């Protein structure tokens, strides 16, 4: 991720800051005093990098931040900037996943470059204001059997926006291909080659397609050939027969694949019989898969019927974490057929995940799921605060993680914008 340049400086000390322990690599040597889920003290910047957290009374300060919270930037590991903000024009009033797919497909016929640019830009602006600096957006890759390398219009528009936002937000584009199309190895290789040539991630929608195993194995094979990251929408339902994530894990293990593989949804993992769930989670851990839970769309679409739903539709978050699997939260769909509400804001997504998955306080424990751990799921290194340059770090207008996640305080400033270079340069 590109970081802002910081001028050569003497030591700069920012007084009275709070740093979430979960965003520090080595809390014991970093310094400061423990205050629940944070370390508190004076933040020392040396030559543009974070050096230490000193005792609050031990040093003169250049700027006193009054106990405000300092974090890494956020990461959005799973969204759909091609579909967002379409709900007001859809002929759809809520229904199953299949009905949402059909409604969005009907709307897609009216997409234009200007329409896509306007809606995706709005999404990127929301992400920027939310403090996100790395984003992966999925983009439908239309299957054209006789021309698998045809680049979708949405992919082109998002590519233009990637370039325009470079230096502010790193945008990854992931192709969303039906897994049955990838069962044809020639087609799979052609798509992978095209994506590799233009920069992107190879992704697919895996549900109950009869040829899903062949498609998954082909995807792993061509990803290794063309050095591509993989991203799957998988098992977005509660039926016990959905087994896509197990097939992915086995394919990755069998071929010895070491690249980043991210699996989104995995809804039925949370409701499977215990022995099956434990065995499947062990395979996921062995394969080194990352899992992204998507609370808003899964809570909205799963277990939908005529009455109040009884199952939450979230994946087995606690069990995955307990097995050492890297787990993140993603926003997924915003104001479209798959979720009629929402905003592109990782903090808001984490709040929904904490509620939906019954994740207990202290709340700062879970921040890596929309920061450092989410970045790792995308194959991106986001340094912890104690190993970071000062440029990317954010100062929030609250001392408490609870206020940040609750939405009462979401204004931020960059750490370096607070320091007056004219006063502290050599």
The 10s digit of each residue's pLDDT in 34-43 is 999 999 999 9
> What distance in Å separates the CA atoms of residue 346 and residue 394, rounded to the nearest whole number?
14
CB atoms within 10 A of CB 291: 25
CA 172 to chain centre: 11
Listed in sequence order, the residues at least 6 apart from 57 whose beta carbon sits closer than 8 Å to its beta carbon are none
Task: Report whether pLDDT(251) > 70.
Answer: yes
Rounded mean pLDDT, 212-223: 98
Handedness of CA 154, 170, 265, 276 (dihedral sign): positive
Q: What is the pLDDT of residue 307?
A: 87
Task: Report whether pLDDT(56) > 70.
Answer: no
Q: What is the pLDDT of residue 355?
A: 97
Q: Return the structure tokens found at 132.
A: 């996100």
Q: What does the longest C-alpha to C-alpha distance in the chain come to?
A: 70
Rounded mean pLDDT, 359-367: 98
Tell me the per-residue pLDDT of 174-202, one tens digit each, with 9 for 90 and over.
999 999 999 999 999 999 999 999 999 99
Q: What is the CA radius of gyration of the chain?
A: 22
Rounded mean pLDDT, 45-61: 84
Tell me the per-residue pLDDT of 257-268, one tens digit each, with 9 for 90 and over.
999 999 999 999
- Mean pLDDT for all residues in the chain: 93
Task: Report whether pLDDT(304) > 80.
Answer: yes
Q: What is the pLDDT of residue 418?
A: 85
> What distance in Å separates the CA atoms of residue 88 and residue 402, rounded to the nearest whole number?
32
Rounded mean pLDDT, 396-418: 91
List of domains in the chain? 12-72+384-424 (2.30.40.10), 74-377 (3.20.20.140)
Is residue 245 within 8 Å of 269, Cβ to Cβ?
Answer: yes
Rounded to the nearest 10 degrees, what angle do helices 153-165 and 113-129 cross at? 40
With cut-offs at 50, 70 and 90, classify the pLDDT of residue 288.
very high
Is residue 42 within 8 Å of 13, Cβ to Cβ?
Answer: yes
- Taking alpha carbons only, the member of 76, 56, 4 closest to residue 332 is 76
Q: What is the pLDDT of residue 96?
A: 87
CA 331 to chain centre: 7
How long is the chain? 426
| Full DSSP string of 272-290 | S-HHHHHHHHHHHHHHT-E
Q: What is the pLDDT of residue 422?
A: 41
Is residue 154 within 8 Å of 109, Cβ to Cβ?
Answer: no
Is residue 180 within 8 Å of 212, Cβ to Cβ?
Answer: yes
Parallel, antiparallel or unpaired: strands 261-265 and 290-293: parallel
> What distance in Å separates the CA atoms of residue 165 and residue 158, rounded to the nearest whole number?
10
> What distance in Å separates the CA atoms of residue 409 and residue 396, rounded to the nearest whole number?
7
- With a pLDDT cut of 70, the percent of the chain lying above it is 95
Is residue 238 within 8 Å of 303, Cβ to Cβ?
Answer: yes
- Taking alpha carbons only, the member of 206, 199, 127, 209 closest to residue 168 is 127
Is residue 170 within 8 Å of 1, Cβ to Cβ?
Answer: yes
- With a pLDDT cut of 90, the percent of the chain lying above it is 85
Tell me the per-residue pLDDT of 79-130, one tens digit each, with 9 for 90 and over.
999 999 999 998 776 788 999 999 999 999 999 999 999 999 999 999 999 9
Listed in sequence order, the residues at least 6 apart from 52 whose beta carbon sits closer than 8 Å to its beta carbon are 30, 31, 44, 386
Rounded mean pLDDT, 217-243: 98
Is residue 270 within 8 Å of 310, Cβ to Cβ?
Answer: no
Rounded mean pLDDT, 309-337: 96
Task: Report whether pLDDT(9) > 70.
Answer: no
Listed in sequence order, the residues at least 6 apart from 86 whose beta carbon sits closer than 8 Å to its beta carbon are 104, 107, 119, 335, 336, 337
């Amino acid at each position: 991720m590109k970081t802002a340049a910081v001028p050569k400086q003497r030591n700069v000390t920012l007084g009275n800051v709070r740093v979430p322990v979960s965003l520090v690599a080595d809390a014991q040597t970093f310094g400061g005093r423990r205050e629940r889920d944070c370390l508190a003290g004076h933040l020392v910047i040396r030559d543009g990098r974070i050096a230490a957290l000193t005792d609050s009374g031990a040093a003169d300060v250049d700027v006193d931040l009054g106990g405000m919270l300092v974090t890494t930037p956020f990461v959005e590991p799973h969204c759909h900037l091609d579909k967002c903000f379409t709900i007001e024009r859809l002929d759809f009033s809520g229904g199953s996943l299949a009905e949402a797919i059909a409604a969005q497909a009907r709307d897609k016929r009216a997409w234009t470059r200007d329409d896509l640019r306007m809606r995706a830009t709005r999404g990127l602006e929301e992400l920027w204001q939310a403090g996100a600096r790395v984003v992966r957006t999925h983009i439908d890759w239309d299957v054209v059997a006789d021309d698998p390398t045809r680049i979708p219009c949405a992919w082109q528009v998002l590519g233009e926006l990637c370039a325009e936002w470079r230096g502010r937000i790193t945008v990854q584009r992931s192709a969303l291909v039906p897994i049955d199309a990838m069962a044809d190895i020639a087609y799979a290789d052609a798509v992978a080659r095209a994506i590799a040539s233009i920069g992107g991630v190879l992704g697919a929608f895996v549900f109950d397609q009869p040829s899903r195993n062949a498609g998954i194995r082909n995807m792993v094979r061509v990803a290794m050939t063309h050095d591509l990251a993989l991203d799957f929408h998988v098992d977005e339902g509660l039926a016990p027969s959905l087994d896509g994530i197990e097939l992915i894990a086995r394919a990755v293990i069998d071929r010895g694949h070491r690249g980043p593989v991210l699996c989104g949804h995995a809804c039925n993992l949370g409701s499977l019989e215990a022995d099956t769930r434990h065995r499947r989670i062990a395979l996921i851990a062995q394969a080194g898969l990352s899992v992204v839970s998507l609370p808003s769309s899964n809570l909205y679409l799963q277990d939908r019927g005529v009455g109040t739903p009884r199952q939450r539709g979230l994946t087995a978050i606690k069990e995955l974490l307990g097995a050492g699997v890297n787990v993140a939260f993603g926003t997924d769909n915003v104001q479209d057929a798959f979720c009629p509400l929402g905003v592109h804001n990782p903090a808001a997504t984490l709040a929904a995940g904490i509620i939906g998955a019954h994740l207990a306080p202290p709340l700062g424990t879970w921040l890596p799921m929309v920061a450092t751990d989410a970045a790792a799921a995308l194959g991106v290194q986001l340094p912890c605060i104690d190993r970071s340059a000062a440029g990317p770090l954010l100062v929030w207008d609250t001392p408490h993680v609870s206020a940040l996640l609750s939405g009462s305080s979401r204004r931020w400033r960059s750490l370096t914008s607070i320091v007056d270079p004219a006063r502290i340069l050599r």
